[in-house]
């Protein structure tokens, strides 16, 4: 039986960047750095969720300020 291919942390980050590009988005250096820390297992699930909530709040606030 073949073993599944396991991506390295660097390959995971490359995939995250490529996925964003396919969706027409450009990731900031901060987001890429966070993706790297997640890929290397340096962030807990709770830390990741907290960071996501912060980013969503920032995006919503920026959208409201543009109105």
Q: What DSSP string runs through 12-66?
A: HHHHHHHHHHHTT----HHHHHHHHHHHTT-S-HHHHHHHHHHHHHHHHHHHHHH
- Measured CA to CA, the distance from residue 39 to residue 6 in angstroms comes to 12
Q: What is the pTM of this model?
A: 0.75
Q: Which two tokens stand for residue 35?
A: 């993706």
Q: What is the pLDDT of residues 1-56, one digit of tens each?
A: 899 999 999 999 999 999 999 999 999 999 999 999 999 999 999 999 999 999 99
Q: Is residue 8 classed as helix, strand or coil in its secondary structure?
A: coil
């Amino acid at each position: 039986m073949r073993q599944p291919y396991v991506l390295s942390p660097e390959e995971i980050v490359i995939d995250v960047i490529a996925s964003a590009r396919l969706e027409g988005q450009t990731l900031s250096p901060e987001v890429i750095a966070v993706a790297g820390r997640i890929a290397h297992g340096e962030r807990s699930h709770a830390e990741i969720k907290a960071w996501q909530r912060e980013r969503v709040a920032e995006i919503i606030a920026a959208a409201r300020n543009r109105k």
